[in-house]
């Protein structure tokens, strides 16, 4: 696959073996039972390296796997409501949202309007505000409710230990000022 006539050859341990014709570099690779891999095709002359390609791909896959393992994946889960939802149903949805927030997922609470219900967006706005207030101890709103077509939604992010600690400090300060 290498099309250049001359290449700069780098050894298995990173040592420079010099500039040589491609055929000579391939011969050295065969003699050492390694693969000749072009690592910098745009350089003049192109840089090729002697390495075991299978082992190289395995190490790259391992590195990629480690990177993926260390990343924190935040899920966005959705809970759907209707403007005329009953109190008990609302509480059930709030409990499931609280559980999702406790698990560390962001929750998108959506109010779906049907037919002419969309002419009263204030009902959906009040419902979303009520949900945010109900879940204020488990999460906080990332943004205010937004009406998009026939749906209005709000995204709640889980309250971390940091924000809970800040709230406790604020409450303690408020209690001190009230007592004084």
For residues 9 and 48, the answer to whether their CB atoms sit within 8 Å is yes
All domains of the chain, ordered by start, with CATH? 1-53 (3.10.20.80), 76-179 (3.30.110.10)
Helix (H) or strand (E) holding 89: helix 87-102
pLDDT of residue 75: 81
Tokens found for residue 141: 């709103």
pLDDT value at 166 more than 60: no
Which is it for the CA torsion 52, 56, 58, 62, positive or negative?
A: positive
Tokens found for residue 33: 């039972």
Task: Report if pTM > 0.85.
Answer: no
Query: pLDDT tens digit string along 115-139?
Result: 988 899 999 999 999 999 999 998 9
pLDDT of residue 91: 95
For residues 107 and 143, the answer to whether their CB atoms sit within 8 Å is no
Q: How many CB atoms lie within 10 A of CB 152?
A: 23
pLDDT value at 168 more than 70: no
pLDDT value at 165 more than 60: no
Query: pLDDT tens digit string along 11-25?
Result: 988 899 999 999 999
């Amino acid at each position: 696959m290498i099309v250049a006539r001359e290449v700069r050859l780098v050894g298995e341990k990173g040592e420079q073996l010099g500039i040589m014709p491609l055929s000579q570099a391939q011969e050295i690779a065969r003699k050492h039972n390694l693969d000749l891999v072009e690592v910098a095709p745009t350089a003049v002359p192109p840089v090729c390296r002697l390495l075991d390609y299978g082992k190289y791909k395995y190490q790259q896959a391992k590195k990629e796997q480690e990177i993926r393992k260390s990343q924190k994946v935040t899920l966005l889960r959705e809970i759907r409501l209707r403007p005329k939802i009953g109190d008990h149903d609302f509480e059930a949805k709030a409990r499931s949202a609280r559980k999702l927030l406790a698990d560390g997922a962001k929750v998108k609470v959506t109010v779906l309007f049907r037919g002419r219900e969309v002419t009263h967006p204030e009902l959906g706005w009040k419902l979303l505000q009520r949900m945010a207030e109900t879940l204020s101890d488990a999460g906080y709103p990332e943004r205010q409710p937004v009406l998009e077509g026939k749906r209005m939604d709000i995204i709640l992010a889980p309250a971390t230990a940091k924000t809970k600690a800040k709230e406790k400090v604020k409450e303690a300060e408020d209690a001190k000022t009230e007592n004084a």
